[in-house]
């Protein structure tokens, strides 16, 4: 494999959230440009082989470093190794960014209410998107919905509060909605598609999906994406194609 298309970066920090979840930051080369919501292709050498995977960027396009949020897949080709990252380790970064989970893909309807619906590490691109001033300027209502199985998997809680504090001045239309599917004591604990079908999500945020105004992004577990898409379509919302429509998705596997 040619290594020309990669630059070799250095790990700057590593933070473990739970046994199966961690984040890390690394150096960002000047040539690496991306739009909030896009993903990078990164990896490490395992023996002689370079193992590369797609990773949504958590940091904002204005940051000087790159941040990523990772699952640990037991025996996963990349993450079994990546979970042991140390400050100073090498990370390979493909020189270009990829992906269409970006807000500029929505042309019609015009921006009004934005729904960012994530499971697990699918939170990553939304953290990047929320660190863009234009988002706060363009949308009257922003709902960040983050579904995990167990409470200890709710990563980035302080960062979410910090982003809100930094960006939402005079913006009263932001709602953060955690869902914990294996905790019956959690205020919301059913799967996202169920919470859409039974109206609980909208009741919780006090706002309704609307084919005339809503921009909706789904990211993470493909089954969640599929079932949530179906629940939204049943409500008259449409997939975004060539700029038109309500729903944009990214599957992680």
**Which residues are near ligand FAD by CB under 6 A?**
39, 53-56, 68-71, 73, 76-79, 99, 120-121, 124, 250, 252-253
Question: Would you say 160 or 197 has its CB closer to ligand FAD?
Answer: 160
Closest approach of ligand FAD to the CB of residue 77, in Å: 4
Question: Would you say 39 or 92 has its CB closer to ligand FAD?
Answer: 39
Closest approach of ligand FAD to the CB of residue 122, in Å: 7
Question: Would you say 128 or 214 has its CB closer to ligand FAD?
Answer: 128
Q: Which residue is nearest to ligand FAD (CB)?
A: 76
Q: How many helices (H) and strands (E) does the chain have?
A: 7, 11
Closest approach of ligand FAD to the CB of residue 97, in Å: 11
What is the rounded distance in angstroms from the CA atom of residue 20 to the CA atom of residue 224? 19
Q: What are the φ/ψ torsions at residue 118 (nearest 5 degrees)?
A: -125, 145
Q: Are 217 and 117 in contact (CB under 8 A)?
A: yes
Name the residue with tokens 């690394």. 26
How many C-beta atoms lie closer than 10 Å to residue 174's C-beta? 18
Closest approach of ligand FAD to the CB of residue 58, in Å: 7
Closest approach of ligand FAD to the CB of residue 48, in Å: 17
Question: Would you say 34 or 69 has its CB closer to ligand FAD?
Answer: 69
CA dihedral 180, 181, 186, 187 (to 10 degrees): 100
Q: Are 173 and 140 in contact (CB under 8 A)?
A: yes
């Amino acid at each position: 494999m040619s290594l020309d298309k990669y630059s070799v970066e250095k790990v700057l920090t590593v933070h473990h959230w739970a046994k199966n979840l961690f984040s890390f930051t690394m150096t960002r080369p000047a040539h690496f440009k991306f739009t909030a919501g896009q993903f990078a292709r990164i990896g490490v050498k395992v023996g002689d082989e370079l193992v590369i995977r797609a990773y949504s960027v958590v940091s904002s396009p204005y940051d000087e470093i790159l941040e990523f949020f990772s699952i640990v897949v037991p025996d996963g080709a990349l993450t079994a190794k990546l979970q042991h990252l140390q400050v100073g380790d090498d990370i390979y970064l493909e020189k270009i960014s990829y992906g269409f989970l970006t807000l500029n893909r929505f042309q019609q309807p015009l921006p009004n209410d934005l729904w960012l619906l994530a499971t697990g590490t699918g939170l990553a691109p939304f953290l990047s998107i929320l660190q863009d001033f234009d988002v706060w300027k363009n949308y009257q209502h922003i709902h960040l919905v983050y579904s995990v199985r167990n409470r200890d998997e709710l990563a980035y809680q302080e960062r979410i509060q910090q982003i809100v504090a930094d960006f939402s001045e005079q913006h009263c239309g932001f709602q953060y909605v955690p869902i914990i599917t294996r905790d019956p004591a959690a205020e919301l604990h059913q799967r996202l598609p169920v919470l859409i079908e039974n109206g609980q999500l909208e009741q919780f945020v006090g706002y309704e999906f609307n084919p005339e105004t809503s921009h909706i992004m789904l990211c993470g577990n493909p089954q969640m994406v599929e079932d949530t898409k179906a629940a939204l379509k049943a409500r008259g919302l449409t997939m975004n194609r060539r700029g038109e429509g309500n729903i944009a998705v990214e599957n992680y596997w």
